[in-house]
Amino acid sequence: TAAGAVAEALLADRLLLLTDVSGVKDASGAVVTELLAHQVREMTADGTIAGGMIPKTETAVHAVENGVRAVVILDGRVPNACLLELFTAHGAGSLIRSG
């Protein structure tokens, strides 16, 4: 995506991808708060990550493998979601890092 490309060019510390879901969900439907790129690939391969989440996670993995320190997928409809992500210990979505 354009956002991912800009974040990569800037070597951004963090890219926030705001969407209409709370984050990446596991097989039981619970939000996974932290993932490594290889875990995202595994969850995509086994069908846990599917549909509209695939382009989001592909953008995230590409970004973290090209200089962005972390990507967060979070629900932009939640009031103050970005502030919660940036200024609280628990965050507000799924944090994806390289590895």
CA 68/CA 63 separation, integer angstroms: 5
Structural domain boundaries of the chain?
2-97
89 pLDDT band, cuts 50/70/90, is: confident
pLDDT at 62 over 90: yes
pLDDT digits (tens, 9 = 90+) for 7-52: 999 999 999 999 999 999 999 999 999 999 999 999 999 999 999 9
- The mean pLDDT of the chain is 96
> Which pTM does this prediction carry?
0.93
Hey, CA dihedral for 61, 67, 69, 73, is it positive or negative?
negative
**pLDDT the model gives residue 1:** 84
Residue partners of 79: CB distance under 8 A and separation at least 6: none
Provide the β-strand partners of residue 25: 31
Q: Reply yes or no on domain 2-97 having CATH 3.40.1160.10.
A: yes
